[in-house]
Amino acid sequence: MNEIWTHIPIMAPQIADLILLNPRGVYIDATLGLGGHTKFFLSRLGADARILGFDKDEEALQMAVERVNDPRLIAFHASYTQAPLELKKLGLEGADGVLFDLGLSSYQLDNPARGFSMLRDGPLDMRFDRQNPLSAAVIVNTWPMAELERILKEYGEERSFTKIALAIMQARRQAPIETTGQLAKIVEKIYGGKRGKTHPATQTFQALRIACNQELENVEKALSLLEDIVKPGGRAAVLTFHSLEDRLVKNYFKKLVKDGNWLLIHKHALSAPFEEVRQNRRARSAKLRVIERIKI
């Protein structure tokens, strides 16, 4: 089963260069996914280093543990909001570095059963955590038009938000919208079919995914944890894949620097190298920001 999913960790060498300053240190992979970044980091770290990996997706977590196959990884089926507690339980004052990779794993994107892709028909799900009662199908079939418009405009930055919301309302009156294919076709009609490389439903799917997983709220939660999990001299790296998340990170990092005790490693976000983007299209929208907690 595991061999079906190819997984290329985005910007792994650059992130390793920027945050793995102590080869014997303790690090946190706050969004473990399939373990690609952790596996790469462990290849750079010493025998007594440790990585604490967190993920709410139980299936992905199991695959990550098998793929990494290294006793230096301590994996938690939990949100990264549990990181301060787990550090405390282990008697650690903080981590030498933390990575928040806010993108979807290839397992989630490529598995039609998870309902993230408009290119492969599957149930309209989109939940990172299967225990979450709010799926994309619930939103599409039960939320009022005003709320559909709001998320399409705010989270999808979709210019045709009213037309799409209205088309969803009209379609669901006939029958429930249950699959990714059904929803993709509804949006395609608004735009007169597929044009160019980007599917016309891309922004609609982004909006639904953000809404049902409370992604922007979780970014804010992640950023608010930095002072509780990064020890002085340690660094935090955040990898984002759309402008809404990157803007939150940029503004929060500015606030930390202004308040003192933190230092931006680069003034502007870093992008994936051309060669990486050529080999892995998913790297094209990646933005990396890194900040260091100054030793007092």
Domain membership of residue 27 as a residue range = 2-107+216-293
Tell me which DSSP letter residue 123 carries. B
The answer to whether 100 and 238 are in contact (CB under 8 A) is yes
Report which of 177, 166, 187 is spatially closest to residue 141, judged by C-alpha positions: 177
Structural domains of the chain, count:
2
C-alpha dist (Å) from residue 236 to 95, 106, 223 = 9, 23, 9
- Is there a single domain that holds both residue 96 and residue 229? yes
- Is there a single domain that holds both residue 15 and residue 145? no
- Is there a single domain that holds both residue 45 and residue 101? yes
**Ramachandran category for residue 232: left, alpha or beta (phi over 0 → left; psi -120 to 50 → alpha):** beta
CA distance 32 to 42: 13
- Is there a single domain that holds both residue 82 and residue 221? yes
pLDDT band per the 50, 70, 90 thresholds, residue 198: confident
- Is there a single domain that holds both residue 31 and residue 64? yes
In the three-class reduction of DSSP (H, G, I as helix; E, B as strand; rest coil), residue 125 is classed as: coil
The answer to whether 81 and 225 are in contact (CB under 8 A) is yes
- Is there a single domain that holds both residue 146 and residue 176? yes
- Is there a single domain that holds both residue 103 and residue 222? yes
Question: How many other β-carbons are positioned within 10 Å of the β-carbon of residue 285?
Answer: 16
- Is there a single domain that holds both residue 249 and residue 102? yes
pLDDT tens across 169-193, in order?
Answer: 999 999 999 999 999 999 999 988 7
Last residue of a domain, which of 214, 229, 264? 214
- Is there a single domain that holds both residue 281 and residue 202? no
- Return the higher-pLDDT residue of 69 and 127: 69
> What pLDDT score was predicted for residue 109?
66
Last residue of a domain, which of 187, 214, 241? 214
In the three-class reduction of DSSP (H, G, I as helix; E, B as strand; rest coil), residue 99 is classed as: strand
Report which of 102, 108, 98 is spatially closest to residue 38, judged by C-alpha positions: 98
Report which of 237, 251, 234 is spatially closest to residue 293, judged by C-alpha positions: 234
Mean pLDDT estimate for the chain? 91
Q: What is the mean pLDDT of residues 202-209?
A: 93
Report which of 19, 12, 23, 29 is spatially closest to residue 236, judged by C-alpha positions: 19
- Is there a single domain that holds both residue 222 and residue 149? no
Structure tokens at 23: 């080869």
Reported pTM: 0.85
Tell me the CATH number at 129. Answer: 1.10.150.170
Last residue of a domain, which of 214, 242, 263? 214
CA distance 154 to 244: 9
The answer to whether 187 and 167 are in contact (CB under 8 A) is yes
Tell me the CATH number at 18. Answer: 3.40.50.150
The answer to whether 214 and 155 are in contact (CB under 8 A) is no
CA distance 291 to 289: 7
